Amino acid sequence: MTEPAHPRESPLPTPLPLDSSAQLLTRITAQLGAQLGHVQLNGVRRPMTSPSLSPAAAGGPFTAPAATAQCGSAAPVLAAAPVLAAAPVLAAAPVLVAVAHGSRDPRALRTVNRLLDRVRELRPGADVRLGHIELDTPLLPDTLAGLRGREAVLVPLLLGRGFHVGHDIPAAVAAAGVRARLAPPLGPHPLLVEALHDRLVEAGWRDAETGVRGAGVVLAAAGSRDPASAADARRTAALLTERLGGVPVVPAYASATSPTVPEALRALAARGRHRVALASYFTAPGRFATASRSAAPWVAAAPLGDHPALARLVLHRYDAARDAPYEAAAPRPLVTA
């Protein structure tokens, strides 16, 4: 019988003669146990804990045993097998930057923060930040400066197109030099219409009691010189008319364009609509929202605020913009007509 192999050539520190299949199985089991003891569940290998262990026993590649004839008896030889792959590292989702207008009314910031808390509840773990166009902190340029190389999706908490959406927000992104996608404003959208209806009901509107004949609604919005903004308000008014079963809804504006809320009230009265409610088409309380409500002759709804439908709409805008092809932000030409 030839001499056993040198210990450094053996997969075990102290090779033993194998006289039976039972001993062979015992040796294989010990070898596999040593290897598996150094492999975590996610496939990451543990470091060697003792210099006396062989590379395989210290966490080397997982191998399958094979029997070959050696010195007249069967001895296992370890064949190379693929290393267990580590779990993939997922890239961080883009930061959701909600862009509010800003207001000197302290209720506005509190309302926007409650809305963003709802967004975080719907999307646990999301990085949600706030930036204001003016009047409130944090201002949008400061929020963008704090991204530190992260990608972002900017969601305007504005209800239609206009100067801020078309110019101010893209200009801030371009000046900051960040990689960011711009979502469209929140309106028009059916989720906004549901929120408008709920706010009307909270204020005292009753679909069945009011009836279609003498009722009307003024949709009070901020207003803009951009024709696209007025088109968005008219679209929302048409959707709200459908939601109210045919009750006419007339958009009106607190600034920049007409009709004003009093003018819209007079127009509805000329059509025989004397029981008129005011739907507040504002994200949060502020000067324009307060002035519009003060002109209401009957039911005056609160701003949309932290309505759950608004939180869902913010995430809808975020997801759609995140998945769209990337385009660098470019401010639109100023619109003065």
The per-residue pLDDT for range 193-249, each reduced to its tens digit, is 999 999 999 999 988 666 667 899 999 999 888 899 999 999 999 999 999 999 999
pLDDT range class, residue 162, cuts 50, 70, 90:
confident
- Comparing 29-33, 191-195, 289-293, the range with the smallest average pLDDT is 29-33
Contacts of 305 (CB under 8 A, 6+ apart): 111, 114, 115, 283, 284, 285
Tell me the pTM: 0.70
Identify the three-state secondary structure at position 312: helix
Residues of the chain with pLDDT > 70: what percent?
Answer: 69
Q: Which residues pair with 278 in a beta bridge?
A: 218, 300
Query: Average pLDDT in the 7-22 region?
Result: 46
| Tokens read off for 280 | 């507040």
Residue owning tokens 């469209």: 184
Closest CA to 309 of 209, 207, 193, 212: 193
- Comparing 22-36, 161-175, 196-210, the range with the smallest average pLDDT is 22-36
Question: How confident is the model at residue 28, as a pLDDT?
Answer: 59
Contact yes or no for 318/96 (Cβ under 8 A): yes
Question: How confident is the model at residue 34, as a pLDDT?
Answer: 55
Contact yes or no for 217/279 (Cβ under 8 A): yes
* Mean pLDDT, rounded, of the chain: 79
Question: How confident is the model at residue 330, as a pLDDT?
Answer: 67
